[in-house]
A = this chain, B = another copy of it.
Amino acid sequence: MFIAEKGLKIPVVDVDLTNREQHGADFAMVNPHRTVPALELDDGTCLTTSTGICHYLDFYYPEPPLLGRTSAQRGRVVDLDWRVEQEGFMAVGEAFRNKAKSFANNALTGKHAYSQIDSLVERGKTRTEHFFDWLDELLQDNEYLAGEFFSLADITALATVDFSKYIKVQPKEHHTSLQRWHNTVSARPSARL
């Protein structure tokens, strides 16, 4: 979504996660951490986190800005993006990966085997509910997360809300601001790819 918002064309190689292709020898040559996404640069180096990739692309292709134009906007976007990822995306991931059978020995992403922990399923769901409450409150006074402009924080939040259906926790009916925002950002062409 970030790449589409920038209007960039970057060659994409799909990695078949359902068949654990990220754990194979070929992909380990690209990214030894065995996580997706990974962005290979022309000099052969590789960025292996969504956050790192987005900050790289925003620095290299500043328009349209997705991390804010001013220092105050930059601070707010990065601050919110961090909180959305930690309290939202990670919470959903915690509930999801500690339950699904296919992650029995991979409760965390990456090359190391970690067993599932049952109590993290409920904790992840509770955290997600708290996250939606906060997000709805934030959006009562703001069109987008960081204010009047669309940013990376909205992308991370949209991914989180859409991901949350897999743990059967969704925004509630009374989260009207969150619902309004979700409809708005879901309608962007970049969200339909």
Tell me whether A52 and B130 are in contact (CB under 8 A): no
| A78 touches B (CB below 8 Å) | yes
Q: Is A183 an interface residue (CB 8 A)?
A: no
Q: How far is the CA of A148 from the CA of B93 in the complex (A)?
A: 35
In the assembled complex, the Cα of A130 lies from the Cα of B119 at a distance in Å of 24
Q: Compute how far the CA of A51 lies from the CA of B43 in the bound complex, rounded to whole angstroms.
A: 27
Contacts A45-B72, A120-B117 known; A78 to B52 CB distance under 8 Å?
A: yes
Q: Beta-carbon contacts of A26-55 to B below 8 Å, as 1s and 0s?
A: 000000010000010101010111011101
**Distance from A38 Cβ to chain B, minimum over Cβ atoms (Å):** 10
A80 in the interface (beta carbon within 8 A): yes
Interface class of chain A by DSSP? helix
- Seed contacts A41-B75, A45-B76; 4 additional CB < 8 Å A-B pairs: A45-B72, A47-B79, A56-B78, A108-B127
Which residues does A use to contact B, with CB under 8 Å?
Answer: 33, 39, 41, 43, 45, 47-49, 51-53, 55-56, 59-60, 70-72, 74-76, 78-80, 82-83, 87, 108, 110, 112, 114, 117, 119-120, 123, 126-127, 130
23 contacts between A and B (CB under 8 A): A45-B72, A45-B76, A47-B75, A47-B79, A49-B78, A49-B79, A52-B76, A52-B78, A52-B80, A53-B79, A55-B74, A55-B75, A55-B78, A55-B79, A56-B78, A56-B79, A59-B74, A59-B75, A108-B127, A112-B126, A112-B130, A117-B119, A117-B123
